[in-house]
Amino acid sequence: MRTTKYGVGVRKRLDEVYKSETKRYKCPRCKKVSLSRQASGIWECSACRLRMADYAYKVSVSSLS
């Protein structure tokens, strides 16, 4: 398989998106780092099942305290 400049750039960008989607955040209710993205703008805590809507790639936890 040939690697082109264009292909490398796309793969790098996809990798960044993937990382931001799988990153876990601190849950504002149980304080465990179990908050993960379920869908665009939907976050769920795997510890206490808290569900919340927020920005697609970032959780503004500080505003919920």
Which residues of the chain form contacts with Zn ion (CB under 5 A)?
Answer: 27, 29-30, 45, 47-48, 50
Which lies closer to Zn ion via its Cβ, residue 10 or residue 64? 64
8 vs 1, 5, 16, 17, 20, CA distance in Å? Answer: 12, 5, 13, 15, 19
Residue appearing with tokens 């795997």: 46
Closest contact distance (angstroms) between CB of 56 and Zn ion is 20
Closest contact distance (angstroms) between CB of 36 and Zn ion is 11
Which lies closer to Zn ion via its Cβ, residue 27 or residue 59? 27
